[in-house]
Structure 1
Amino acid sequence: MAKVILVFASMTGNTEEIAELVGKGVSDAGMELVVRELPAGEPKELEDYDGIILGSYTYGDGELADEFLDFFDEMNELNLSGKLGAVFGSGDRAYDQFCVAVDILSDKLVEQGAELPLEGLKIELAPEDEEVCIAFGRSFAEKVKSVHA
């Protein structure tokens, strides 16, 4: 059975709420799911999964979450060829750079060889429509299942 790992960082709880909903979608689709809230988990662990979901809030003027910085740097050592990836995040449109962490993490997954079958999910602050997040997780799980059946 294909396995999915979800790694996220949350400061105010918004990204954690999104992670829970995305995870629900993955689980509802019948996938085995492991969740790590940073700083727990090691980047090398990503190589053990068929699907990788990363989630982060965008901090300040378009910066990756502090909790993600070391993890992000250590991802340079990974070979994620053959893996599917997805990225979600929370942000605030009051800043010029909205949810840039999603783009930063998406680019890193691609650089390391992963394929991204879905556009990154960008949520302003907290999710208003929970089903959007659940559907994102479910859709990703279905993509992983179709490739790794």
Structure 2
Amino acid sequence: MQANIVFASLTGNNEEVAEIVQRQLDAQGVTTTLTEMSQADAEDLTDGDIAVIVPYTYGEGDLPEEGLDFFEDLLDTDLSGVVFGVAGSGDSWYGDDYCKAVTEFDQQLAQAGATRGAQPLFVDLRPDDDDEPRLAAFTQSLMTAIAKRA
């Protein structure tokens, strides 16, 4: 089983979220690839069983600038065989714009035909001890979705 984890991070928080998910998937025997979003190609997601996207939200709910092409390319990619989840760090101070990119990537992946394996997960600022079990549940949800497809 193969998982592609794509992240964008300004502060390092989302890279940390992506690395936690990677460790959790690795522990379940999944082969993982971790890629920074500016280096990612949407088509590469078709090479795996699981896609995890970890974007940051910038300014007033904006997507990561380095991820705009990747975001747009998702709609030109058939992801019907892929189970996905989107998680990301943000600052709850931003209110309605808090982790908005997480929600937008979640919707874009669904429109590209991928199967949602986990509900979008928001992490307030840097992931802490309270977030570990939430991320474990997120990862387990992805694994359960894959098992149901088998």
Q: Same fold (TM over 0.5)?
A: yes
Q: Distance in 1 between matches of 2:67 and 2:60?
A: 16
Q: Distance in 1 between matches of 2:23 and 2:143?
A: 11
Provide structure 2 residue ranges, at least 5 long, that are not aligned to the other structure: none
Provide structure 1 residue ranges, at least 5 long, that are not aligned to the other structure: none
Q: Distance in 1 between matches of 2:5 and 2:149?
A: 18
CA contact (8 A) 1:54 1:88 kept: yes
Q: Distance in 1 between matches of 2:148 and 2:83?
A: 11
SS at match of 1:45: helix
Q: Distance in 2 between matches of 1:139 and 1:81?
A: 18
Q: Distance in 2 between matches of 1:117 and 1:73?
A: 21
SS at match of 1:88: strand
How many equivalent residue pairs?
147
More helix by share: 2
Q: How far did 1:113 drift? A: 0.3
Q: TM-score, normalised by structure 1?
A: 0.91
Tell me, yes or no, if structure 1 residue 107 matches structure 2 residue 107: yes
Q: Distance in 2 between matches of 1:115 and 1:146?
A: 11
Higher RCO, Cα 8 Å, sep 6+? 1
Q: Distance in 2 between matches of 1:82 and 1:92?
A: 33
Alignment match, 2:2 = 3
CA contact (8 A) 2:46 2:81 kept: no
The share of aligned pairs that are identical, in percent, is 35
